[in-house]
Each structure stands twice: as structure tokens, then as C-alpha cells.
Structure 1
Amino acid sequence: MTCAELLIRLLRDAYDVDTVFGIPGVHTIELYRGLEGGDGHERQGSGIRHVTPRHEQGAGFMADGYARATGKPGVCFIITGPGMTNIATAMGQALADSIPMLVISSVNRRDTLGRGQGRLHELPGQRELMAGVSRFSHTLLDPEGLGEVLARAFAVFDGARPGPVHIEIPIDLFDAPVSAPRHLRRSVLSKAAPDPHALEQARSWLGEAERPLVLLGGGCVGAPQAARRLVELLDAPTVTTINAKGLLGRDHPLDLGANASLPAVRQLAREADVVLAIGTEIGETDYDVVFDDGFELDGQLIRIDLDPEQLARNQHADLALVADAVSSIEALATSCEQALAGRPLARDGRNRTRAALESLALAEDPAFRAYVPLFDTLRECLPEAILVGDSCATTYAANHLVSQDAPRRFFNASTGYGTLGYGLPAAMGASLGQPELPVVALVGDGGVMFTLTELACAVEEGLPIIVLLWHNQGYEEIRRFMDNAGVTRLGVDIQAPDFQTLAAGFGCAASRVGNPAGLARALAHRPEDGPMLIEIDAAAWSETVA
């Protein structure tokens, strides 16, 4: 078989890949010979669904959303040069949030690499450029090494801190003959388990604590039952970050939500005598969105993370465990349960959590009040929906207001890299990965313009996503920052198109609403076989719910 055919076979049979995102180019057509499986039908032939976005950035965001919703790596086929620079932003977002993504790209012929001859799509140092937004970037120079480098990529996804991996294949290797592999089995990797002695030390500190606090990050999403058991045994108020939302279930009495930047939760953090942080960077976009470096931990800090370097960043750990978050939560919960004979500690955790949330009074806060009926309506009409956010006003509010009943049902681009244009294509990826669940994209009239063309792909694929477009006439957050800094507004009051007409041009159902009742009606009439854009007039909405 050829190298390209072997690649498809390995992805499908060894690594259970069922969806690939990509735009064919003259350099990658041999990949599509392998993808269609010889019978001319891409889905039935190879067993892999190929989705064609309208821009490589959209491909990366779709792969990201697919990975977050399913826990499986998103896979992209990308052309040399401009394809790679286009997808780099999406890879940067995935890297910041530790999202598994496999990017397979072409690169110019081996005999031309590094010679600067002006070849089509030539990008000097393509691998070096992509290394900055990936866990590693590899140039395949021998087709017989394909199996090994793919195994390396999935070893990162399965056993280390995940993120994008880039593999570039010279175009003269796609149709090169390769030996049939002796087997198509995936290695079973066991992630690093916590050191028993360190785990016992952690359990001892937590058992003796009077005012414990738990911080759970996105690394914990695979252990919702153990996480609930652990915090309930410890009776500890718990911060669940944006990427961990839903980990404890909806409205859990110990869940402080993603509110670590707000005063009442920061006060709990300062008062805590022992803090347990698992699978979280303790980084700015989860703990300091007011950008004042005011999240302070004075008690003993126990950190558990798969990445040893991460344990030395942001907050000093008194006890640091290099271990998988999921197995650590499960082991720690079991250890606590045995030590306590199944009887939870009583340290006023629920009352402390309730008092902090009541002090925050988020529903009455002028910054969030207008959005409360929006999320109440979504919760009533689509209680199981996955919410996928762009960097926009509704997403910023949702980070504080929304509670989900399970993990992997809320994620957005306001953390880490903080890109625009993420919401729509990432929601499409989530819908492809979890077709049985409704998916809502939270977008704004500014950011959606980065990737609005992906509506064409959503219509083509028949994806029943809801694109909830908050129309506030430009870049509202940047306007506010400019006003607060005394800077004259420039470049933020931008002209928006007629979104209803644009949606119709794509063949997408569309509606414009200005109040919660109108939103409920629009959701009740959403199509089942394609996307719907619901445009919310922010000014009318805010006036109605004031």
C-alpha cells in the first residue's frame, strides 16, 4: 500500500478515528485516495467521515470542539504553507487548554526542503513554526516510520499532558510504497499514578484541615463521580474552573463555580488552611480575570498535575504530585473514604459555599443581570445542551452564571489563548462528536465574523446547532476597557452586516428576537436537520429585562 493509504488505515483501525476535518489541496490529494477507500464514497468506503470547512482555522476549531465534547483527539488534514499558518491560531487555543488535536499536513518534496526555491506553498521552517503551537512537530522522512510517529502522537494524547501534535509528510512520500504493518493494534497506556506516600500525606493534611478548599480544573473531567465523592467526604467548598464546569453536577451545594476572581471566593481562598488543586494551571484566565494578581493562597497547597513543569508555575506547592488527575482523584477519594469509614467530615463546607455565593449575588449584579433570563430560557428549553462559547459578552456571563449537569458540556475560547471566531466551528465539532445532544454556540456580532462562513459547512453537514448571536454593535468588552482607561474609542464601533440575510444566503434558518419569550419561541421552532441562527438585539433585550 502507499503511505497515504497506510495513514488512513492506521487512523481508522488502530486509533478509532471516525472524523477528519480538512480542505483538499493539490499537495494532499493522495490522502483523499486513501480516505475514500476505493469505492468513491468517503463515509462508507474508509469508515471515516470527512468534513470540509471553509477555512483551515475553522477546521482546527471544529477538531477542538469535537475533542472537548468526546474526549477523543480531533484530526485535521491541512495543506502546506498557508493551510498551516491558517490553522495555527486554532492550534494555539488547543495548546493553551490541553486539547488533543492531530494535524497531518503536507510539506514540499524532500529534495527541495530548505532550499528556498519559491515552490508552491513553500513555507521556510514550517515544522519549526508549528512547534510553537504543538506538543511536538515532526517531519516524516521515511514512510516506514509512519506507524512509529503516529504512536508517539497518541502516546502524548493518552499518557501525557495533551495538546496538538503536528506531523508533516513530504508530498513525494504520499504515494510511496510501504510495507504492510505486522499489526494495527494501539498500545494501551497507563497514565502516571500518584505516589502512595505522597497521596497519604495529602490525605492526612486534608483530614486535619479546618477550612479546606478544593480547586478542580479541566484535567479532572474524566472523574465526575470520584470528584463529587471526594469533595463531599472533605466537606470542602470547591472551585470548578471553566473547563471543569459540570464536574460536580448541576447546582452542587459545594460548587463555587468558576468564580475564583470574585471577592467572596478569593476570601475563602485566603482563609483556607489546606488547598487541594488537581488538574488546573491556577492560571490568569480562571483565577484572575480582573488582572490584579489578587488570587492568594496562604495555606498549605497540594498540587496534582500530569505535567511536572506546571507544578512549579503560578502558585508554590507545599506538596506536589506528578500524576494523572483522574486516577489521583479516584485514589484520594478511596483513601479518604476508608480513613473516614464512609462518614463525611463536617466542616461547614456547604454553609461556607452558600454564604460566598449569596455574597456574590450574581443574579442581581448589574454586570450579569441581563443574561440571567437568557440562560434560564436555555436551561428550560434545552436542559441537556452543550454550550460552546466564543470570546463574547454572553460567554463571559455564562462562565459565572451557568451550571451544567455533566462535564464536557461547557467550553469556550475565553480561557488561555482567548481567540475570536471559535464558537461557531467548535460547536459544529461538538455536534459531530455528540449528535444526540443539542449544541448552542454563544457568539457575538464581532467575533462571529471571523468564521461566519462555516455556516455553509453546517448547512452542508446538516448539523442542528443553535447559533445564538448577541448583537451589541461591535466589540463591547474592548469599548468598556477603552472607556475605563480614558482612551478614545477607535476600531470598536464596527458596522455589522444583515445577519438574517446572510443566514438565508447560506440556506440557514434565522430569527431575530429581543426578549426571553421570543427566544423561547425561536428555540421551539428550531429545525432538526440543520443549523439555526438566532440573533438577539442586545439593546432591546437589556431594556426588556431591566
Structure 2
Amino acid sequence: MISTGMYLTKLLEAYGVDTVFGIPGVHTVELYRGLAGSSIRHVTPRHEQGAGFMADGYARASGKPGVCFIITGPGMTNIVTAMGQAYGDSVPMLVISTVNQHGRMGSGEGWLHELPNQQALVSQVSAFSYTVNRPEELSMALARAFAVFDSERPRPVHIELPINVMLAPADHLPVPHKVVRLKRPSGDAAAIGDAVALLNSAKAPVVLVGGGAARAASEVRAVVEALDAPLIAATNGRGILPPEHPLNIALSPCCPSSRKLVESADVVLAVGTEFGPTDYDMYEDGGFSIPGKLIRIDIDPTQIMRTRAPEIGIVADSASALSLISGGLTPARRDGAARVAAARKEGAADLTPAMIGDLKILAKVRDTLENVLFVGDSTQLVYAGNLGFASGGPVSYFNSATGYGTLGYGLPAAIGAKLGAPERPVVALVGDGGLQFSVSELASATEAKVPVIMMLHNNNGYGEIKSYMVSQNIPPLGVDIYTPDLEAIGKAYGWQTEVVAHFADLPAALERAAKNDGPTMLLFGDELRNEAMAA
């Protein structure tokens, strides 16, 4: 007999799923009957939140949905935080869980892992949550999930299988040899034409990009160069232009110099960006504004009408719409490089010496490891990077310090990213405080033989929060935490560990780490950061 749980594996294979993150439990073991012997690799995290973060990193690095198998009840409450981060950053994640069988579901009788309404809980951090009540419903539920991933704003989807449905026979159900996959729209032709006309008439255009444009780098570049327009990227849009490109300002829209460029623009083209405050108004001073005419390209029609309504709105895939727009543009010189150079020079004053030192560290890593992918937690290097780091290419820099803003993300998300892009060096940027949220995932990397590199900044506490409390004249309570011997912990978990005491030693340490077959922990403290400031 083929159970519905076994049938699920065959459907996932048909959709090209190659990796699943999960922790087997008594309510999910039937899912593993089909997984064993399949083409899908299973990776075991040490906590369901870690499973979600791994799926998030995998999805961002690979461009494919990250998939999790999660148990009823506590497994779902554990993964909700990771789903919240993915929801905020528009990351495709498929969370498949069990739920108590019909007759016990939400009964209040106290069955194992029972929740009053598991679907209601998860629906707050998912595009939709669906209960499969009959085996025949499973294939359509998955089809709906992949329709979200392929053609809408990608966000987590939750599908739950009541235990009696998971165990039910599915021999009568067909396994598709080919599944239907949808595509995103290219945009309304009239709106595209209006956008082309407005851009051709612009005297001082500026282009803003977010994560929705990250996989449209060549199309963005073609438009930016034809317009001779400065490019300003939100965190998830970094690297769309190379660091040395004369139109790449590489400063956050939170910085005064970037804002002045936007304020002086007569036309602003915004692509795949929601104008989220953590990217555009991090200091919550209300200083970001667009006085000129605005064109917005986004896959989400409701997002186009949030924050700042545009003169022209285009519901479309970024790459498709930009390709059509670039074909109609008349290249012209608009002093874009000169405007960027002036903004870069002025922008140096927007950053503190400590931030500039942190940016030097990130640049040293970027220039040492070819095609490196940075995955960051909420930590000081990341905060500086979000303000002014020019990553080496698209989909090369992402973190949890914007939007939902979780801690404990960096390590598990980097593990997932390395599994999603095994050919690239992956560097996790983590602080000692954030690491202790997910320190057990050190074991996951060792067990799965994932050669990720973690740069671990140890300042014995929550340094960024401590600095903020001091700046607000608040006694720094609760931020000087006990920090164990992290080097010893790394070794106990099977990681290669090295203390990097000096900035000059960093390139050689990175090169050694890149040659390791397993994971490597590079520990550094404030001394290295101070040396980077002075360099």
C-alpha cells in the first residue's frame, strides 16, 4: 500500500524538491517512510526554528522553495518565528505538518500535541494554511502552494495532514510525470508604454531596487545604464550592480546622501521594493520622501498602493517588465555618475568610524573569497553592512536585521544557503549573543558535512543594544550576558576553530577556512574591528 504520506514524497519529487529540513516525531514518521530511498535529501536541524531558518537560507540562495516537515503542535509553534521572517522578506517556504486526526483535532481533550486551532495560528505568517481532509486533495494543495511561489509574491505556505489522512491509502492517485508551473505576468502594455515615455523625458531619474529585483540584475543594469541613473538598493537588493559600477551608490536609502538623490529626482523607478521602514527609515525620523513622479513595478498589486501611491503602477515580474522597458528607452547622458560620486563623497559623513571599520571587514571578506554569499544575523557587522556595503553580486548579501528582525537566524540560514548554493563560499555573520539562540545548529552543520564559514564577533553580550541603551540614557541592564567558551564549544561540535586577533590576519584565515571540508568558526573581538577602523 502507498499511504498519503508516501504519496507526498512522489509529488514533491515531481516539483523538483531535492532537500527537506525536519525533525522526525511520532506524528510525522509516516512521511519518512516515503522519504527514505527517494531522491530527496533530508537534513536534521536541532530545533524547528532552525529548520525554518535553514529553509529560508536555502530558498534565497537557490531560488527554489525551502521545504520543511514539522510535527503537530510544538513543532509548529517553534517554526512560526522563522515563518514570520520569511513572510516579511517574501521568501518561498513550504511547511508541511501533521495535525491531530479528525475527531481529535481541536477537541480540547488534551491529545498529544493538540492545539485549539493550529491553522489559525499559522495563517498569520503564511500566504495560506490548508488542511488536507482527503488524500485526493493533496495534489491540488501542492499545486496552489507552487502557484504562490511561481506567480505571486512568494511567502510561506502551510499544508497540514491530519494523522488519519496521512495514513490513508493513496494507491489510486496518479503520480504526475509533469506538473503545471505558472509564470509571473510581464506587465500591462499600456502601463509599460507610459513608463517608457516618462523615463525618456526624465532629466534626473533615480532607480530604487529591493529583493523583488534581486534575480533581475541584468535587466536592472540595462535600464540604469540607458537612463544614466543612480541606483539605490534596499538590503535584499544589494549587489545588483557591481561594487565598482559608477552608478552604484551602495548606501542605504536611510542615509541622508541617498535621500537627497531621491528628493532631487524628477522621476523615480522603484522595482521590487516595499519601501519598508527598516530599509528606508531605520532611524524613524520620517526623512525619506519622493517629491517627483513615481513608477512602481511589483508582483504584489496591493503593495504598489502602500506607503506612496505611484503615478504609474505595473503588476509584473521584475525581469520581464524591465526587459520591455529597456527596449523602449532612448539612452541619454544625465550626469548619473557625477551625482553618484558626489553622494558617495557626502555619504562618508553619514557613517561612524566604527561602521566604516565594519565595512572594511566585509569588503576584505568579499575581495578574498570569490563569489562569496553573506548570511547575517542581527549583529554589528550586519547593521553597518545594511547601511553601506557593496556586495559582489546579486543574491550575495541577506540577513534578518530588517523587516521581522529575528535573532538566531545567521547560523542555520547560512547552513541552508550552502546547501542551496554548494558551489559558493558562504559566510555567516554572527554575534555571540545571537549565536546562543541557535548554538545547537553547530551540530547540524557537522552532521550534514556543510562547509560553511562563520565569522563570530564575541563582545560578551548584546553589544548593539547596549550601545543604543547608553545613547538613550537608559541603564544598560540585561545586555552584559554570560558568554561561554565559544572556541571550546565549536571544537566540541566538530568545527574547525580559529581566533583571528588582527585585521591583517583575516584574508589568510578565510583562505584556510575555504579549503576545509567541514564547517569553520573564525572568532574575533573588538580589537580586530578597531584595527579595521584604523586601516
The interval holding the TM-score normalised by the smaller chain is over 0.9
The aligned counterpart of 1:41 is none
Give the alignment partner of residue 55 of structure 1, picking from 37, 47, 61: 47
Q: Who is 1:230 aligned against?
A: 223
Structure 2 residue identity aligned to 1:347: R
Match of 1:296 among 289, 296, 311: 289
Does 2:210 align with 1:217?
A: yes
In 2: Cα distance, 1:496 partner to 1:379 partner: 29
Q: Is the 8 A contact 1:245 1:403 kept in 2?
A: yes
Per the TM alignment, residue 402 of structure 1 is displaced from its structure 2 partner at its CA by 2.7
Contact 2:243-2:250 at 8 Å conserved across structures:
no
| Partners of 1:23 and 1:84 in 2: CA distance | 12
Q: Which of these residues, 486, 494, 504, is aligned with residue 507 of structure 1?
A: 494
Alignment pair present for 1:72 and 2:64: yes
Alignment of 1:357-436 (within 5 A): 357-361=344-348, 365-436=352-423
The match for 2:260 is: 267
CA distance in 2: counterparts of 1:176 and 1:494, whole angstroms: 50
Q: Are the equivalent residues in 2 in contact too, given 1:219–1:326 (CA < 8 A)? A: no
Alignment partner of 1:162 is 2:150: no
Which of 109, 119, 128 is 2:120 aligned to? 128
Aligned partners of 2:326, 2:395: CA distance in 1, in Å? 22
CA drift at 1:490:
0.8
- CA drift of 1:367 comes to 3.5
Q: Does 1:34 align with 2:58?
A: no
Question: Matched residues in 1 for 2:28 and 2:336: separation?
Answer: 57
In the alignment, what sits opposite 1:40?
none
> Hey, what's the Cα distance between the residues in 2 that align with 1:493 and 1:361?
31
SS at the partner of 1:379? helix
Q: Distance in 1 between matches of 2:533 and 2:291?
A: 41
2:525 counterpart (537, 540, 544): 537
Instruction: String of CA shifts for 1:128-160, please: whole Å, max 9, x gaps.
Output: 000001000001101111000000000000010
CA contact (8 A) 1:241 1:257 kept: no
Inter-CA distance 544–128: structure 2 relative to 1 (3 Å threshold): closer
Contact 2:251/2:389 (<8 A) preserved:
no
After superposition, the C-alpha distances for 1:412-463 in whole angstroms (9 at most, x for unaligned) are 1011101000000000001001111110000011111101110101011111
* Structure 1 residue 25 corresponds to structure 2 residue 25: yes
- The 1:188–1:369 alpha-carbon spacing in structure 2 relative to 1, beyond 3 Å, is closer
Letter in 1 for 2:185: A
Alignment of 1:78-477 (within 5 A): 78-178=70-170, 179-181=172-174, 183-336=176-329, 340=330, 344-361=331-348, 365-477=352-464
Give the letter for the 1:17 counterpart. Answer: V
Deviation per CA, 1:137-190, whole angstroms, max 9, x where unpaired? 001101111000000000000010000000010111112112231634221312
The answer to whether the 8 A contact 2:147-2:181 is kept is no
Letter in 1 for 2:292: G
Unaligned runs of 5+ in 1: 37-44
Change (3 A) 1:332 1:231: same
- Contact kept, 8 Å, 2:360 with 2:532, in 1: the verdict is no
Aligned partner letter, 1:147: S
Kindly state the Cα deviation for residue 297 of structure 1 after the two structures are TM-superposed: 0.6
Q: 1:396 to 1:362 in 2, by over 3 A?
A: farther
Q: 1:39 matched to which residue of 2?
A: none
CA distance in 1, matches of 2:229, 2:254: 18
Q: Kindly provide the amino acid, as one letter, of the partner of residue 346 in structure 1.
A: R
TM-score by length of 1: 0.95
Question: In the comparison of the two structures, how many residue pairs are matched?
Answer: 531
Deviates more, 1:98-107 or 1:484-493: 484-493
Structure 1 position 200, deviation (Å): 0.9
Range moving further from structure 2, 109-118 or 89-98: 109-118
> Given the superposition, is the C-alpha separation of residues 494 and 297 from structure 1 closer, same or farther in structure 2, using an over 3 Å criterion?
same
Question: Is contact 1:131–1:137 with CA below 8 Å preserved after alignment?
Answer: yes
Could you tell me how far 1:303 is from its partner in structure 2? 1.0
Change in Cα spacing, 1:391 to 1:364, as seen in structure 2 (3 Å) is closer
Deviation at 1:258, TM superposition (A): 4.5
Question: Secondary structure of 2:341's match?
Answer: helix
Taking the aligned partners of 1:138 and 1:360, their CA distance within structure 2 comes to: 48
8 Å Cα contact 2:502/2:527 also seen in 1: no
Q: CA deviation at 1:401?
A: 3.7
Output the aligned Cα RMSD.
Answer: 1.5
8 Å CA contact retained: 1:107, 1:170: yes
Aligned to 1:3: 4
Separation in structure 2 between the aligned mates of residue 363 and residue 296 of structure 1, nearest angstrom: 18
Q: Report if the CA contact (8 A) 1:242-1:258 is conserved.
A: no
2:11–2:176 Cα contact (<8 Å) kept? no
Runs of 5+ consecutive residues of structure 2 not aligned to the other structure: none
Superposed displacement of residue 407, structure 1: 1.2
Change (3 A) 1:62 1:182: closer
1:525 aligns to what SS in structure 2? helix
Equivalent residues of 1:64, 1:100 under 8 A apart:
yes
Q: Are the counterparts in 1 of residues 23 and 48 from structure 2 also a CA contact under 8 Å?
A: yes
Could you tell me which amino acid in structure 2 is paired with residue 150 of structure 1? L
Amino acid at match of 2:157: V
Residues 471, 194 of structure 1: CA spacing in aligned structure 2 closer, same or farther, 3 A cutoff?
Answer: same
Following the alignment from structure 2 to structure 1, what is the Cα–Cα distance between the partners of residues 509 and 275? 39
Give the 3 Å change call, closer, same or farther, for CA 363–505 of structure 1 in structure 2: farther
Q: Distance in 2 between the 1:421 and 1:96 partners?
A: 16
Superposed CA offset, 1:230-261 (max 9, x none): 00001111112211111123322111224111
Contact 1:311 1:320 in 2 (8 A): yes
Shift in Å, 1:543: 5.2
Separation of aligned partners in 2, 1:373 and 1:288: 24
CA contact (8 A) 1:60 1:91 kept: yes
Partner of 1:174, secondary structure, is helix
SS of 2:125's partner is coil
- Following TM superposition, by how much is the alpha carbon of 1:544 offset from its aligned partner in structure 2, in angstroms? 6.7
Q: Which moved more, 1:90-99 or 1:319-328?
A: 319-328
Contact 1:257 1:403 in 2 (8 A): yes
- Three-state SS of the structure 2 residue aligned to 1:256 is coil
The letter of the residue matching 1:535 is L
Whole-angstrom CA distance in 1 between matches of 2:533 and 2:306: 43
- The one-letter code sitting in structure 1 at the alignment partner of 2:413 is A
Mapped pair 1:492 → 2:484: no
Amino acid at match of 2:346: S
